[in-house]
Every structure is written in structure tokens, then in C-alpha cells.
Amino acid sequence: MRVPINLASQPYENLRPFYLAAGVAAVLLVALSSWVAWNLRLNRNETRMLTEQNDRIENDLKSLRREQRELEVWLAKPEVREIRDRSAFLNSLILRKSLSWTQMFMDLEKILPDRVEVTAIHPTLNESLQPELHLTVSAGTVQPLVQLLKELESAPQFGSPAVESQRFPAEKATDPNIILELKVGYHQVAEEPAAAASAGTSERAGDHPATSEVRVRELAGPTADSVLLGKGK
């Protein structure tokens, strides 16, 4: 029978697993460090590109602001302001000439609820140079005005209405009606040839539709572009 006896002062230990694990950890650490360094370099390049792009945009904005200030100064000149006012006046004349007032009254009559009066109509051009109507309507209660807004939204000739202001009657006011001011886009549908001819004849003769339900009165003055239209209560 043999008995192993180790007479060495420092017995031998098998460190191969430790060295193997340390080598694997070192390899992983080198790979991770390389990946982080590559990402840092990539992010640095992207940051530099974004910074350059931002600088270009800032320079463009400064140039545009400078041009805007120059244009504002130019537009503020009296002669330019006079041209703008004349252009707006001519555009309003063209708009009033191109719109058929008879057809517009007929379109309003179709959607106007009972107990609602349209007291003023002012046609203008919006920022897109599209016809737009500024209406002032009144009613004794809120429900007919809400119904009018719904009818305007559903009518193909009109766009979505935007309420600009509303005024409720005071306690001792002589007029008990609720007044609503709104604007709405208007697209006039082409009339049938026969109807257009008869409408044009009536407009040339100065005839506007006057029935028991619709009352029209043109305002006097060279710049009058509003009319009164009411629907009997």
C-alpha cells in the first residue's frame, strides 16, 4: 500500500482554470472596449455633422430674419402702403364682381334656420385668396345659432365656420337677441345656364330676390360691400 507524502514547503496547485477564466475575461474586456471606442467615434462624427447642420440652419435663419426686416421696412414705406391698399381695394371689387349675390342669397336661404336673422354680410378674400364671408347673425336663443353652424358645416358651398365673437343681451337691453359674428369660406357652385341667364338679367336690372322670407337692402356709399338679409321669425 502506497501513501502519497508531499515534502514540498509550497504544495503545487492547478491554476489552469483560473488562467483560462482570466484570459476569457481579458478578451471580453478588449472586445467591449473596442466596441465602446467605435461607438464613441461614430457618435462624435454624427455630433459634428449635426452641429454643422445646426450652424447652417442658424445662419439661414439669420439671413431670413434680416430679409424679413428689410421687407418690413420696405412695406412700411408710404408709396408701398398706397399700392397695397389699392391692390386690396381692386381685389375686393373683383370679388364682388365675380360673386353672384342672387346665388349667394339663395344658398343662405337654403340653410338659414327659422328665427335666425343675418344682419350683415361682408365678402373678403382670405390668405389663400379664396372667397370668405363675414356674417353677423342674431337670434332670440342659442339653439337656432347652433343649428346654423351645423348647417354651414354640412353645406357643400360653405366651409367650416369660425366664430369670432358673440354678444348676449344685457338685462335692460332693447334688443333681446343674441348676436354672433363668424366667418366661413364660400365656394359658389356654377349655376345652370338658364338660371344663370335669368339671375344675370335680374342683377343687371337691379333686382334682388325679395320674398316673404328674405329681405335684402344694399348699403349706400362707394365702398359699401355689406347687405342685410333676414329670415322672418
Fold annotation for 100-231: Gyrase A; domain 2 (3.30.1360)
Looking at every residue in the chain, the average pLDDT score rounds to 76
141-187 confidence digits (pLDDT tens): 889 999 999 999 888 888 888 899 888 887 766 778 889 999 998 88
Residue 226's pLDDT is 37
CB atoms within 10 A of CB 199: 19
Cα angle 177, 183, 186; round to 5:
125
C-alpha cell at 38: 467605435
Checking if the pLDDT of 67 tops 90, the result is yes
Q: List all residues 6 or more positions away from 81 whose beta carbon is below 8 Å from its beta carbon.
A: 75
82-99 confidence digits (pLDDT tens): 887 787 777 766 766 767
Q: How confident is the model at residue 191 (pLDDT cuts 50, 70, 90)?
A: low
Q: Taking residues 65-81, report their average pLDDT.
A: 88
Residue 225's pLDDT is 37
C-alpha cell at 27: 478578451
Q: Taking residues 199-228, report their average pLDDT.
A: 39
Buried b (16+ CB within 10 A) or exposed e, 143-159: ebbebbbebbeebebbb
Q: Taking residues 99-110, report their average pLDDT.
A: 84
Residue 29's pLDDT is 92
Q: List all residues 6 or more positions away from 155 whose beta carbon is below 8 Å from its beta carbon.
A: 107, 110, 111
CB atoms within 10 A of CB 118: 21
Beta bridge partners of 167: 179
Checking if the pLDDT of 207 tops 50, the result is no
Residue 224's pLDDT is 33
If one compares 214 and 72, the residue with the highest pLDDT of the two is 72
Checking if the pLDDT of 57 tops 90, the result is yes
Q: Taking residues 106-124, report their average pLDDT.
A: 87
Domain boundaries, the chain: 16-76, 100-231
Alpha-carbon distance 70 to 169, whole Å?
A: 47
C-alpha cell at 41: 467615434
